[in-house]
Structure formats: C-alpha cells, structure tokens
Amino acid sequence: MIRIPLTSRMAWQALQEHATESSSVHLRDLFRADASRGERMSLQALGFYFDYSKQRVTSETMSLLLQLAEDCGLRGRIVAMFRGDKINITENRAVLHTALRAPRTARVEVDGRDVVADVHAVLDRMAAFAEQVRSGAWRGYTGRPIRTVVNIGIGGSDLGPVMAYEALRAYAVRDIQFRYVSNVDGTDMAEALRDLDAAETLFIVSSKTFTTQETMTNAHTARSWLLDHLNHDAAIARHFVAVSTNAAAVSQFGIDVANMFGFWDWVGGRYSMDSAIGLSTMIAIGPENFRDMLAGFHEMDEHFRLAPFAKNLPVLMGLLSIWNTNFLGAETLAVLPYDQYLKRLPAYLQQLTMESNGKSVTLGGTRVSYETSPIYWGEPGTNGQHSFYQLIHQGTRLISCDFIGFKRSLNPLGEHHTLLMSNLFAQAEALAFGKTSDEVAAEGTAEWLVPHRTFEGNRPSNMLLAEQLTPAVLGKLVALYEHIVFVQGAIWDIGSFDQWGVELGKVLAKRIAAELNAADEPAPSHDSSTNALIRWFRA
C-alpha cells in the first residue's frame, strides 16, 4: 500500500499556509467580526453542549481540518475498527472496546466468533456477583459479609476503576469501602491494609496479562496478609477474585477460575474500564447503573460512527487538538473538570491519550516529522486556578484547555454551584479575551505596572457542558476521549493501540532487581551511572 506522508497531503499544506496567514488574528477580532460566533461554533449532541468558539479557528480552518480527516481516510478507519479488523497491526489484534458496550442484540465477529455474546455472558456473571457482594449474600471465610473491596491493578487495570469510582461516588453504596492499590511501593499496600479486617475484605486482582510485576507483587502480599489473618488456604476462594484474560496464570496464583471474570485480547488495558476490569465499579454503583454507563458509552460510539464529521464531537475535538498541536504549537492540553467527582479524570486521560498516541513512527514504520500526542494534564476547578492557571494566562507557552462542567450539582449546597460555574465561564472568557494594556491603563494603573497586569488572551479552549454527572454521562465522556484519541492517531498515521515504549523499562527493572538482591558486582553491561546507583543501594 502506498502511504502518502501526512505532511505531503494537500489539506495539511493548506492548513500550514492558513496557520501562517492567520497567526496574528486574535479571538477578540474573531468575536468582533461575527456576533453569532458563540452559537455558530457550538454543537448540541447527546446531551452535551460543546462550545469551540474560543478556539483560534475560522470556518476556513474547520473546513480544512475536515478535509484533512477525509484525506487521511478517517472514515474508513472508523469502519475498520467497529468491524473488528486487526488494526492493532504490531500485535495483530482487533480493537473492539466498542463491543464491550454493544447491546445484547448486536453482533460483532472476531475470527468468526460473535464477541458480543461473550461480553454479555461476562456482564451477567459480574452482575450476579456484584449483587451478592452488595447484598451481603457473599460471605467471607468466617461467614461475615464484605465491608471493603480492594482492587489490585495498575495502569488500565487501576486508573479506570479509580476514576469511575470517584466520578460515580454519588451513586455508590456507602456501607462498603473501596480501595485501590497500584504502586509496587509497599506503602500503597501497607496503608490500604492498615485498618482492615481480613474477614470482611475482598481483593479483586485486576490484570489483563496477570504477569505485571507490580500487580503480582501486590497480589502475593495481599494473599500472605489474608492467610496470616485467616490461617487457611480455603479462605482464598472467599476473599480473592480475578479479572484477567489469562486463566492459566489466575489458577496458578491460587484463585479458582470460577471466581475469574474474563475479557479478551482485543480490549486494550487503557480501554478496559467498561469490561470486567470495571468489577469494582459495578459492585460500587450496582449493575443497573453500570449498564446505564455502558449505554452512555454506546451512545457516543454510535454518534462517532454515524454523525457527519462536521457535527461529530470526537471528530471535532480530535481535529481541534491537531490544529492546536501541529499548527499553533501547543505542547500540552489541560483537562479542567469543574466537578470534584472528576478529580481523577485527568490522570485517567493521561494513560488513555499518552500511552495511545505517544508514538514517533508511522504505521508504515517511518519516523514522523510532526508532533504527536500533546501532554495531557489537569486538576479539577477551582483548585487549579490558585495554582497553575497563572502560567496558562500569562506564561510564554500556549496551552489549550478542555473545560468540563455541569448545569446541576449532585450536592447542591447554597451558592456553591453558581460560584463554581461562574469561575468556569470566567476562566474561559479571561483566557480568550484577556485584558489589553489600554484597558489596564484606563483603570488608572501606574505605567510601570501595566505590562505586569496585561493579559494577552487568545488562549484557546473548549467548553463541554452536560446537565448532570450520571453514569451514562460518564460513559459518554470517556468514549468521547477514546474516540478523540482514535481521530488523532488516524490523522498522525500512528498505531494508537500498542505500548512498546513501556517494555524496555520493565525488562531492565527485572535485571536490576536481581542485581539489587545479589551480593556480587552489578553486571558490567550497565553504564557507569547505573552501576554506581546499584552499588549505592546495596551498600
């Protein structure tokens, strides 16, 4: 197949020219020139109000970006993903997280097998188990009900469950505690277990591969702790369940495969929070809410698959991020949810976006000559305003922001929500329009102080609003970002579904662990710095 390099595409080159021509245009000018810009550059879909009028784009920018999407074959790539083609070419796997939320009546085949039926069989088993734990019917080894669920996992087997638990806490049972242990740092496990009663604790060992060093180390420590307290191997079956694709390793660990909830190699770790990896989420919020969340995911999938690109949320947001990254030079993208329940969303999105698109060769294996994934980061509003927003407003870097907010609070308390939302809208306004030196001077500011108090503005942002944070809205939100990543990857022509970049560190850590335990000199193959570090630790 002949691959046209991205930078040789006509739409790309036209965008480059257009970016140069429009580099001096300020958002102030764009709004002044078009009184209806705020409404024109907004979209209402799936219960979201999406306003991108504060992006540094014109109608011409948008049509060139949409042309770029067409030229890069985005349409065909979407079809290929949903159809189950093996688009994860370096691992020869289908990419079918969309099948995890397909309705029972749908049919998606991988190697001749309908995977939707498998998905629903697991969901049904999860639901039965979750109900047992929630109702107290599931008893620990000594006959007591479960009071604490500890999810042991890392990366996609941790960040999704933690984020979803925090996000949907308002819907969660309050008489069961949920804890999440991920770090191989013993402190994580020690602090999680410190005040727990083993007789009332359920461990969910979540690992797609069931070989991940951190998770396996934590799982073994948890098992020893449980056996120390309950003194019998038979207790394992009542206090440990597993979520994995690797039945053999689960059973070798000592967990009965009857207590294992499976998923499949066509679900990437960072795309797995709606698979069995969400077992802790389902126990927390209940099967019905979990299914609502899946319905939200599915709604966004259908929108992504079917909506015209010009009215397609993931396509628009993906293209806008390409514009900011590749044509305006923004290196980072701040995700700023104005909702305390979404406090872990930025961390979750870091893995989703950066493990997916932190790549520097094309699918054809050649080095890219353009930037790929921006650095995603963020904090919930309004905390960030009193911390790093200064740099976004007046620093030298261009940072694009995704603001997220809700019309109604899940905890309406006095004036809190109005204040929260007024801050949200004010920040986007201040970033876009700033304050000119003339305006500052007109306030009677001393001349020498004027430059310090001037805000350039022209900082781009998206505003994504919804009625209220519900399980379905969370599902839509996560699917939205999953598909934004897909759009970016399709344009950049990179493989968004592997993660070879994490392998080398894992291999070296294994070698070094052996050397840290050994009494003899570190292997000479290390560099002088690493050898010295190993000697320092051993001394």
Identify the helix (H) or strand (E) that includes residue 151: strand 148-152
Closer of 354 and 424 to ligand F6P (Cβ): 354
Closer of 269 and 495 to ligand F6P (Cβ): 269
Q: Tell me which of 145, 155, 434, 522 binds ligand F6P, using CB under 6 A.
A: 155
Q: Which of 174, 203, 208 is nearest to 91 (CA)?
A: 208
The answer to whether residues 203 and 166 touch, using CB atoms and an 8 Å cutoff, is: no
Closer of 155 and 374 to ligand F6P (Cβ): 155
Which residues are registered as beta bridge partners of 93? 88
The answer to whether residues 84 and 68 touch, using CB atoms and an 8 Å cutoff, is: no
Closer of 339 and 355 to ligand F6P (Cβ): 355
Closer of 77 and 208 to ligand F6P (Cβ): 208
> b/e for 53-69, b at 16 or more Cβ within 10 A?
bbbbbbeebbebbbbbb
Task: Answer yes or no whether residue 61 interacts with ligand F6P by CB under 6 A.
Answer: no
Least distance from ligand F6P to the Cβ atom of residue 153, Å? 6
Q: Tell me which of 84, 145, 161, 269 binds ligand F6P, using CB under 6 A.
A: 269
Which residues are registered as beta bridge partners of 148? 177, 201
* Coil/strand/helix, residue 440: helix
Whole-angstrom Cα Rg for the chain: 25
Positive or negative: CA dihedral 263, 264, 265, 270:
negative
The answer to whether residues 491 and 324 touch, using CB atoms and an 8 Å cutoff, is: no
The pair of three-digit structure tokens given for residue 419, joined into one six-digit string:
């204040």
Closer of 308 and 505 to ligand F6P (Cβ): 505
CA 295 to chain CA centroid, nearest Å = 18
Question: What Å distances lie between residue 73 and 9, 491, 493, CA to CA?
Answer: 12, 8, 10
Q: In what order do the strands lie in the sheet with 177-181?
A: 177-181, 148-152, 201-206, 240-244, 260-262
Number of residues located near ligand F6P, criterion CB under 6 A: 14
Segment lying near ligand F6P (by CB under 6 A), choices 153-161, 220-228, 449-457, 511-519: 153-161
Least distance from ligand F6P to the Cβ atom of residue 270, Å? 5
Segment lying near ligand F6P (by CB under 6 A), choices 128-136, 206-214, 229-237, 419-427: 206-214
Segment lying near ligand F6P (by CB under 6 A), choices 21-29, 121-129, 204-212, 455-463: 204-212
Least distance from ligand F6P to the Cβ atom of residue 497, Å? 10
CB atoms within 10 A of CB 112: 5
Q: Tell me which of 37, 97, 134, 208 binds ligand F6P, using CB under 6 A.
A: 208
Identify the helix (H) or strand (E) that includes residue 335: strand 332-337
In the residue annotation, 208 being an active-site residue is answered as no
Task: Answer yes or no whether residue 270 interacts with ligand F6P by CB under 6 A.
Answer: yes
The answer to whether residues 472 and 292 touch, using CB atoms and an 8 Å cutoff, is: yes
Angle between helix 313-322 and 59-71 (nearest 10)? 100
Give residues with Cβ within 8 angstroms of 226, minimum separation 6. 198, 201, 203, 235, 236, 239, 240
Instruction: Give residue 340's identity as a one-letter amino acid code.
Output: Q
Least distance from ligand F6P to the Cβ atom of residue 245, Å? 8
Task: Answer yes or no whether residue 56 interacts with ligand F6P by CB under 6 A.
Answer: no
Closer of 372 and 400 to ligand F6P (Cβ): 372
Task: Answer yes or no whether residue 154 interacts with ligand F6P by CB under 6 A.
Answer: yes
Task: Answer yes or no whether residue 212 interacts with ligand F6P by CB under 6 A.
Answer: yes
Task: Answer yes or no whether residue 303 interacts with ligand F6P by CB under 6 A.
Answer: no
The answer to whether residues 440 and 453 touch, using CB atoms and an 8 Å cutoff, is: yes
Question: What Å distances lie between residue 10 and 4, 163, 284, 285, 292, CA to CA?
Answer: 10, 41, 51, 49, 43
Least distance from ligand F6P to the Cβ atom of residue 350, Å? 12
Task: Answer yes or no whether residue 400 interacts with ligand F6P by CB under 6 A.
Answer: no
Least distance from ligand F6P to the Cβ atom of residue 446, Å? 53
In the residue annotation, 355 being an active-site residue is answered as yes
The answer to whether residues 61 and 22 touch, using CB atoms and an 8 Å cutoff, is: yes
Selecting among 232, 311, 506, 510, the annotated active-site residue is 506
Task: Answer yes or no whether residue 385 interacts with ligand F6P by CB under 6 A.
Answer: no
Residue facing ligand F6P at closest CB distance: 269
Least distance from ligand F6P to the Cβ atom of residue 422, Å? 38
Selecting among 355, 379, 482, 515, the annotated active-site residue is 355
Segment lying near ligand F6P (by CB under 6 A), choices 50-58, 202-210, 313-321, 414-422: 202-210
In the residue annotation, 407 being an active-site residue is answered as no
Task: Answer yes or no whether residue 157 interacts with ligand F6P by CB under 6 A.
Answer: yes
Task: Answer yes or no whether residue 373 interacts with ligand F6P by CB under 6 A.
Answer: no
Closer of 326 and 357 to ligand F6P (Cβ): 357
CA dihedral 352, 356, 360, 364 (to 10 degrees): -160
- Which residues within the stretch 482-521 sit at the binding site for ligand F6P (CB under 6 A)? 499, 502
Q: In terms of DSSP bridges, do strands 375-377 and 332-337 run parallel, antiparallel, or are they unpaired? A: parallel
Task: Answer yes or no whether residue 209 interacts with ligand F6P by CB under 6 A.
Answer: yes
- Which residues within the stretch 215-234 sit at the binding site for ligand F6P (CB under 6 A)? 215
- Which residues within the stretch 339-368 sit at the binding site for ligand F6P (CB under 6 A)? 355
Task: Answer yes or no whether residue 207 interacts with ligand F6P by CB under 6 A.
Answer: yes
Q: Token pair 């261009």 is at which residue? A: 398
Distance CA 52, CA 248 (A): 49
Least distance from ligand F6P to the Cβ atom of residue 415, Å? 41
Instruction: Give residue 52's identity as a one-letter amino acid code.
Output: Y
Closer of 192 and 216 to ligand F6P (Cβ): 216
Least distance from ligand F6P to the Cβ atom of residue 210, Å? 7
Q: Which of 128, 399, 507, 48 is nearest to 290 (CA)?
A: 128
Binding site residues, ligand F6P, CB under 6 A: 154-157, 207-209, 212, 215, 269-270, 355, 499, 502
Residues carrying an active site annotation? 355, 386, 506
